[in-house]
């Protein structure tokens, strides 16, 4: 039997593995790091709102990135499954924690904010 993935999946794998795609994600990680650094106590409400909207946009983009990789490579498939990479585990956890926090917009965001900073480390590995 043919164990090759279907052509659409191979194209998706190629897309999410391409240097331009990786460069765009890296750029977004760096911009997200800057916005995280801007989120300090004493900010005006206007700046807080802009940063909150930007965080929602980043979370959405990183969610789409994860979904594309999962669809392209599978979740645990050998050898390239999404969750076979430690950085993807980190992304997955950030997304899994981020959406309930985003939806509720209440509770302690400090722990999530501190955890999101680790995403910047992924940029160093790309």
Whether CATH 3.40.50.720 fits 7-125: no
Determine contact, residues 13/5, Cβ cutoff 8 Å: yes
8-25 pLDDT tens trace:
999 999 999 999 999 999
d(CA 14, CA 84): 18
Our measurement of the distance from residue 9's CA atom to the centroid of its chain's CA atoms, rounded to an integer in Å, reads 21
Average pLDDT, the chain: 86
Q: Find the mean pLDDT for residues 34-53.
A: 92
Report which of residues 72 and 5 the model is more confident about.
72
| Helix (H) or strand (E) run with residue 86 in it | helix 86-104
pLDDT at 115: 60
Q: Which residue has the tokens 């997304």?
A: 95
DSSP string, 113-126: HHHHTHHHHHHHH-
pLDDT above 80 for 109: no
Which residue ranges make up each domain of the chain? 7-125
């Amino acid at each position: 039997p043919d164990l090759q993935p279907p052509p659409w999946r191979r194209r998706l794998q190629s897309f999410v593995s391409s240097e331009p795609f990786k460069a765009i994600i890296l750029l977004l990680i760096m911009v997200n790091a800057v916005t995280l650094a801007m989120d300090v106590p004493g900010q005006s409400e206007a700046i807080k709102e802009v940063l909150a909207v930007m965080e929602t946009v980043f979370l959405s983009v990183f969610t789409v990135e994860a979904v594309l990789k999962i669809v392209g490579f599978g979740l645990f498939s050998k050898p390239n499954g999404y969750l076979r990479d430690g950085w993807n585990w980190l992304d997955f956890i950030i997304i899994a924690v981020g959406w309930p926090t985003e939806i509720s917009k209440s509770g302690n965001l400090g722990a999530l904010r501190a955890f999101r900073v680790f995403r910047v480390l992924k940029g160093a590995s790309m």
